[in-house]
């Protein structure tokens, strides 16, 4: 049974801690193994004759020019303190053993204070040949971005956009005018692929289109349903709180529907993250059209106990096996075939799509076009 403490007690227990340690504590308090509602209410149409054996399933994918053995990865989380450095070490080990990509948390802490650089670079030290993503906020310039990439010897750079979090963060940014032009410069100047990601507030098709217009080739829509950074930052405020901002944004399922409503030739590659808890959530995201799925808090809970690395690795192996099993049950040999399977979106997503003039019924009848 998960132990929960009251918001009031939690609020007073975090003061005196480093901000990154506060984030880990508050994110762990939010964690639930239950699927987010929109994932739970999204259902596959069951067809009884898969005509496929499990051994024939190939779920490999490619994102940002990188070939990946599995369609999920350890998404951006943390770094900057002794505790978070220990967590990143475990994540690096898991990435190495499981051969899945690992994204660091925002490297801005190491840009400001090089003495904490090791709490990030430990990911690469423990995973010398694997795929690693660095992470920075959208306000950082090319020099800082190159420092972040060099620190982790990163294969790609995640740029996070997080306006709601910044607004609620007592020490957060208050000027967002240059984010888009700065992203355009980073895309143009960086030697590694640039991935633009939300942090759990979701994306609209307009946002995805704006990003594509400045050259972004890969977008992580990162919707609600997982870690709520509005609530985290609100819990860090000593007064003048924003409880009505908790839950702000679009779910991951809605964000996928938004992004994938753009014409194929006009949209970037899509990564899904936010509230993804299990292989079925992974499968649903991939079937909607995501190229890759990121999971953060799920892996954070594994990494907080560095004495159980073998258990965490077993958990990843089970996820891999079950993902392939479900694909075989659906009769999908690969991700292209998975995107032709019939999905019924939940009532809340249907209502959203109707209001936004997105064809949600097309998902339900894709096999009829084969």
- Domain for residue 312, yes or no? yes
Task: With respect to residue 353, please indicate whether it lies within any of the assigned structural domains.
Answer: no
Answer yes or no: is 194 within a domain.
yes
- Dihedral angle computed from the Cα positions of residues 293, 286, 352 and 197, in that order, rounded to the nearest 10 degrees: 30
pLDDT at 249 over 50: yes
H or E stretch including 167? helix 163-168
Q: What is the mean pLDDT of residues 337-364?
A: 98
Greater confidence (151 vs 307) lies with: 151
User: Are 360 and 348 in contact, with CB atoms under 8 Å apart?
Assistant: no
219 lies in a domain? yes
Name the helix (H) or strand (E) containing 336. Answer: helix 335-338
DSSP states along 106-150: -THHHHH-GGGTHHHHHHHHH-TTS-EEEEEETT--HHHHHHHHH
Give the count of domains, the chain: 1
343 part of a folded domain: no
Domain contains 172: yes
**Each residue of 107-163: pLDDT tens digit?**
999 999 999 999 999 999 999 999 999 999 999 999 999 999 999 999 999 999 999
CATH number of the domain to which 127 belongs: 3.20.20.70
Q: Could you count the other beta carbons within 10 Å of the beta carbon of residue 370? A: 6
279 belongs to a structural domain: yes
- The answer to whether 74 touches 94, Cβ cutoff 8 Å, is yes
In a domain, 169, yes or no: yes
User: pLDDT tens digits for 54-101?
Assistant: 999 999 999 999 999 999 999 867 787 888 889 899 999 999 999 999
| Residue-range definition of the domain harbouring residue 188 | 7-37+62-321
Q: What is the pLDDT of residue 215?
A: 98
């Amino acid at each position: 049974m998960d132990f929960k403490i009251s918001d009031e007690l939690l609020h007073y227990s975090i003061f005196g801690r480093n901000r990154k340690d506060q984030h880990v504590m508050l994110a762990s308090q939010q964690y639930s193994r239950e699927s987010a509602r929109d994932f739970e209410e999204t259902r596959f149409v069951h067809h009884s004759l898969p005509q496929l054996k499990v051994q024939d399933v190939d779920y490999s994918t490619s994102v940002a020019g990188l070939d990946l053995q599995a369609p999920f990865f350890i998404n951006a989380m943390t770094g900057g303190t002794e505790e978070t450095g220990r967590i990143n070490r475990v994540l690096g080990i898991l990435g190495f053993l499981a051969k899945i990509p690992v994204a660091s948390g925002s490297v801005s802490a190491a840009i400001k204070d090089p003495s904490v650089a090791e709490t990030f670079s430990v990911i690469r030290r423990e995973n010398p040949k694997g795929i690693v993503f660095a992470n920075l906020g959208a306000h950082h310039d090319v020099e800082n971005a190159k420092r972040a990439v060099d620190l982790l010897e990163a294969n790609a750079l995640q740029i996070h956009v997080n306006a709601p979090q910044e607004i609620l963060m007592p020490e957060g940014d208050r000027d967002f005018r240059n984010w888009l032009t700065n992203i355009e410069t980073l895309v143009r100047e960086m030697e590694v692929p640039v991935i633009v990601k939300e942090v759990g507030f979701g994306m609209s098709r307009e946002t995805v289109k704006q990003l594509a217009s400045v050259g972004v080739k890969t977008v992580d829509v990162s919707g609600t349903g997982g870690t709520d950074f509005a609530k985290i930052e609100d819990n860090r405020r000593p007064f003048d709180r924003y409880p009505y901002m908790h839950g702000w944004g679009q779910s991951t399922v809605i964000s996928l529907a938004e992004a994938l409503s753009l014409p194929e030739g006009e949209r970037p590659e899509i990564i899904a993250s936010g509230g993804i808890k299990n292989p079925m959530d992974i499968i649903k995201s991939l079937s909607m059209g995501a190229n890759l799925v990121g999971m953060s808090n799920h892996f954070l809970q594994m990494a907080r106990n560095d004495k159980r690395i073998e258990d965490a690795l077993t958990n990843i192996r089970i996820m891999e096996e079950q993902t392939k099993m479900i694909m075989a049950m659906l009769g999908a040999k690969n991700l292209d075939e998975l995107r032709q399977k019939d999905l019924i979106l939940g009532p809340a997503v249907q209502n959203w799509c109707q209001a936004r003039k997105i064809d949600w019924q097309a998902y339900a009848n894709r096999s009829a076009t084969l």
